Chain A
Amino acid sequence: MSFSVMHRGEINPWKKLFSINPEELAIEFDFYDLYSGDEKQLLIKLREVLGKLNRSDLSGPIYLIVRELLTNSLKATYKRIYLDFFLAEMGFSDLPYENWLSIFKTEIETHMAENFANLCRQKNLFVKFVMKPMDNGLLIEIINDGVPSDVEWVRLQKSIDQSRKVSNMGYIFDGDGDGDSGDKQQEGAGLGVPLITVMLKNMNLSVNDFDVIRQDGHTIAKIFLPLGFFAKKGD
């Protein structure tokens, strides 16, 4: 992934190509859940911005990718608050991973995200969505305040590497993928990453423009939409 920040005084490509001030392309949202309306506002804003760049046709796929990443990030945040707050308060911190994961899943299945979102608001824990204009494209970041365990991190990286090498999602079902490990003691990396990479490929974007990094106690999923991506239509 290669992008650079615009500096004051530089010739502004957004202004030059689309007659747009870069500030108009910036979007920022804090998510505590994905049902209280902010997710719809994000879709509206994405449509608006991509429309200005003559690619409103891609607002749907990009929103789907973003939503998948937000879901994963929120799930990680929910897991953390469940462990750090609820299970600690209950005196269950020493429960084996598979046991507390089972209660966590039951809670999600029973009450959806309601209780998690409520506690996230109380503790001011959220997942941040940021879209910012760079001098060679738009950078989308989904920032989660926490990092996965080493085991989960290795699984995620493996999933990203695998999905970059293939052109469809078939590998998930041939035993090499990680859609469902069949091991109830662990969570698979799921279909999210393969789905995202396949969608990026279908949008003629490079899979290298998607990555997940760990930085200063945060997990950041990044998607880079290069300037050329927007200049195509109407050229």
Chain B
Amino acid sequence: MTSNLDINKYNGGSTGLNSEKVICEDGLIVNIDAEIKNIKLTIQPQVVASLLNLNDGSSASFEQLSNLIKADQNMSTTILKAANSSFYSRGNQVASLQHAIAMLGFRVVRSLAMAANSRSLFETGKYSRFQRYVWKHSTATSVICKELARKMGRADLEEEAFVAGLLHDIGKVVMNAIDRRKFISVIDMVVEENISFPVAEERVFGVSHMTVGMKAAKEWKLPELYEKIFNQHENFTGDLVEDNMLLYIVSYGNYLAKKYGYGHYSSQDDIDGAKLEEKLKLGQENLVYFKENFKSAIEDDEFFKFVNRLI
């Protein structure tokens, strides 16, 4: 549907709210909001196969189900979207997957996940660069964010930090689903020209994954907190107040994941990372732990291992 996009005609910036329409070189006007509405995200077939093997609501299966959902960004999004839909929602926004699964119930979650999978036959994200730069990066970020929350004495934020870390780049998944060929061009540009994802995305799509992620969160009625995280995790510089705590955790987790080699890393990231460290005040001991020793902890993490077996 899309072709090379002319960013000069693009109405709005990468974080602008008025960027719904982008004009392609061939004159087609692409409405990002409509694309998001109609998007068909895919679920990894290995995850689906594992889901089928879960056939009861025992606590063991419940835990396995929870792990399987966390193992797939698209499935996590589907389940959170369902829990926040007008059908299930009771006014309170559901930000944690555990809460969402408990609310929907074992069998409904499994049915929805299967339905989500059956909607798309093509595995748009099944290529090595996507897995490395998006999938592994998101998984590593989720593990780091959870640990960051724990080390900061914020056990109450661990689950949300995990989910937010896992989904922070959902905009990339959406863009890849909208036009996989163009998203491959984005990754090629990032790697070959050593530019950041947002810059490459602006060139190719006329819009960044942050804007797309934010719009997707809004369209899917995910908690507002996630809209902010999806939109600002790459360049957040606001005050470290309670409302921004999770955003800070995800921003720093995003940086550390790149630094560890999960995702695309550039020297600019270090500058941003230093600013985040200064604000977060993690303490010298924790900084050493995260910057020098945590990579092995990620590799040993059960969830990380579980996901990598699926890839």
Contact = CB atoms under 8 A, between A and B. Distances in A.
A144 to B, nearest CB: 20
A86 B82 CA distance: 8
Contacts of B112: 90, 103
Contacts of A185: none
Nearest to B112: A103
A110 B105 CA distance: 7
Interface string B201-225: 0000000000000000000010000
Contacts, number: 53
B115 A95 contact: yes
A17 to B, nearest CB: 49
A86 B87 contact: yes
A91 interface: yes
Contacts of B107: 106, 109-110
Given A103-B112, A106-B111, A89 B119 contact: no
Contacts of B85: 86, 89-90
B116 to A, nearest CB: 8
B82 A90 contact: yes
B168 interface: no
A103 B86 contact: no
Interface residues of B, number: 22
Given A115-B87, A122-B86, A90 B108 contact: no
Interface in A157-176: none
Nearest to A104: B111
Contacts of B105: 110-111
B78 A95 contact: no
A74 to B, nearest CB: 16
Interface residues on A, range: 20 to 34
B228 interface: no
Interface string A75-95: 000000010011001111011
B194 interface: no
B81 interface: yes
Interface string A90-131: 111011000110110011011100010011001000000000
B87 A94 contact: no
A95 B38 CA distance: 13
B118 interface: yes
B39 interface: yes
Contact of B38 (A89, A91, A115): A91
Contacts of B86: 85-86, 89, 119, 122
B122 to A, nearest CB: 15
A106 B119 CA distance: 18
Contacts of A102: 111
A85 B111 contact: no
A117 to B, nearest CB: 11
A79 to B, nearest CB: 13
B37 interface: yes
B88 A90 contact: no
Contacts of A100: 115
Contacts of B40: 91
A95 B108 contact: no
Interface in A125-171: none
A154 B131 CA distance: 51
Contacts of B82: 86, 90
A94 B37 CA distance: 13
6 contacts: A86-B86, A86-B87, A92-B115, A102-B111, A110-B107, A111-B105
Interface of B: 37-40, 78, 81-82, 85-88, 90, 105, 107-108, 111-112, 115-116, 118-119, 221
Interface of A: 82, 85-86, 89-92, 94-95, 99-100, 102-103, 106-107, 109-111, 115, 118-119, 122
Given A90-B78, A103-B115, A106-B108, 11 more contacts: A86-B86, A89-B85, A89-B87, A91-B39, A92-B119, A106-B111, A109-B107, A115-B87, A115-B88, A119-B86, A122-B86
